[in-house]
C-alpha cells in the first residue's frame, strides 16, 4: 500500500517538475543571450518591450521543414514595479526560414506595444496574421529605426547550436498553456489572471522574473 502511494505521489509530482524545469531553462536562455558580448538582443528594445516570450528547446520534427512545437513562458511589464509572474504558452507550426538548424531551438519574442500584448493574451493567435512579426536586430543597440521596428508588433530571435539570429516566425501560432499554469501555481489560472493580476511568481518560476528585471530598465 505504501509503495503504491509513493508511486502515485511521484506521478503527480513529475509534471510539476517538468514545468518548473522549463521555467528555469527559460531564465537561463535569457541570461545567456543577454550576457553575450556580441549578438545579444538590443538593450533598448528589451527596455521598451511590453511583454517577453521565451520558449527554450523548441522541438523540430525535421531539418528546416517539418512539424515544430514548443512550450515556454510569457511575462509582461506591470507599470513601474517590474515584470509579472510568468504564464505558460505553447507555440506550434510556422516557417522558421533558413536561419535555424538542428533539432532544438530557443525562441525569444518581444512584444513592443500594448496592442500586441492584448493579442498575446487571446486564446490563440497567429504570428504574421493576427499580429505582425519581424526578425529582431542584433547588437547592444538597435540604433536605426528600421521598417521592422517601426511596423512590427512583435520582434523575434532564435538560437540553435550556439548561433543566435533574428528570425521571422510568420505562420506560427501561440496559445496559453494552462496545463503549465496549473502545474506551476497549483490551480487553474488563465494567462490574463497571471500577468494582469497580483499573483506572485512561485519559487520555481522566480528566476525568470529576476532575469527580466535584471536586464531591462523599469519605465
Question: What confidence tier does 71 reach under pLDDT thresholds 50, 70, 90?
Answer: very high
Nearest-angstrom CA–CA distance, 182 and 195 = 14
Pick the closest to residue 19 from 155, 196, 201, 169 (CA basis): 201
Instruction: Flag whether pLDDT at 12 surpasses 80.
Output: no
> What average pLDDT does the structure give for the chain?
80
Nearest-angstrom CA–CA distance, 45 and 8 = 46
Instruction: Flag whether pLDDT at 135 surpasses 80.
Output: yes
Q: Is 147 helix (H, G, I), strand (E, B) or coil?
A: helix
Neighbours of 75 (CB within 10 A): 26
Summarize pLDDT for 138-154 with one digit per residue, the tens. Answer: 776 665 455 556 678 89
Instruction: Flag whether pLDDT at 186 surpasses 90.
Output: yes
Most confident of 80-84, 133-137, 162-166, 207-211: 207-211
Nearest-angstrom CA–CA distance, 209 and 202 = 10
**Quick one: cell of 2?**
505504501
Instruction: Flag whether pLDDT at 90 surpasses 50.
Output: yes
Q: What is the pTM of this model?
A: 0.82
Looking at per-residue pLDDT, the higher value among 7 and 41 belongs to 41
Written as one string, the DSSP assignment of 152-181 is: -SEEEEEEETTEEEE---TT-EEEE-HHHH
Nearest-angstrom CA–CA distance, 74 and 76 = 7
- pLDDT at 63 (0 to 100): 42
- pLDDT at 141 (0 to 100): 65
Nearest-angstrom CA–CA distance, 62 and 103 = 7
Q: Which residues pair with 77 in a beta bridge?
A: 83
What number is the average pLDDT over the span 57-68?
Answer: 57
Lowest mean pLDDT among 9-18, 139-148, 164-173: 9-18
Question: What confidence tier does 196 reach under pLDDT thresholds 50, 70, 90?
Answer: very high
Instruction: Flag whether pLDDT at 62 surpasses 80.
Output: no
Provide CB contacts within 8 A for 171, sequence distance 6+: 93, 94, 95, 126, 127, 128, 129
- pLDDT at 13 (0 to 100): 41
Q: Is 3 helix (H, G, I), strand (E, B) or coil?
A: helix
Amino acid at each position: 500500500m505504501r509503495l503504491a502511494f509513493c508511486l502515485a505521489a511521484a506521478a503527480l509530482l513529475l509534471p510539476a517538475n517538468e514545468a518548473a524545469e522549463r521555467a528555469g531553462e527559460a531564465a537561463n536562455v535569457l541570461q545567456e543571450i543577454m550576457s553575450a558580448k556580441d549578438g545579444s538582443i538590443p538593450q533598448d528594445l528589451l527596455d521598451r518591450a511590453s511583454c517577453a516570450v521565451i520558449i527554450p528547446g523548441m522541438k523540430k520534427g525535421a531539418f528546416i521543414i517539418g512539424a515544430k512545437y514548443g512550450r515556454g513562458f510569457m511575462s509582461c511589464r506591470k507599470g513601474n514595479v517590474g515584470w509579472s509572474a510568468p504564464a505558460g504558452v505553447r507555440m506550434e507550426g510556422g516557417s522558421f526560414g533558413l536561419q535555424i538548424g538542428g533539432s532544438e531551438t530557443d525562441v525569444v519574442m518581444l512584444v513592443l506595444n500594448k496592442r500586441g500584448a492584448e493579442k498575446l493574451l487571446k486564446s490563440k493567435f497567429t504570428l504574421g496574421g493576427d499580429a505582425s512579426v519581424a526578425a529582431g536586430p542584433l547588437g547592444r543597440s538597435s540604433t536605426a529605426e528600421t521598417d521592422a521596428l517601426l511596423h512590427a508588433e512583435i520582434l523575434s530571435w532564435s538560437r540553435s547550436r550556439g548561433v543566435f539570429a533574428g528570425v521571422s516566425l510568420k505562420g506560427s501560432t501561440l496559445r496559453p498553456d494552462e496545463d503549465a499554469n496549473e502545474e506551476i501555481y497549483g490551480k487553474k489560472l488563465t494567462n490574463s489572471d497571471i500577468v494582469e493580476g497580483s499573483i506572485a511568481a512561485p519559487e520555481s518560476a522566480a528566476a525568470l522574473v529576476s532575469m527580466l528585471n535584471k536586464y531591462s530598465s523599469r519605465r
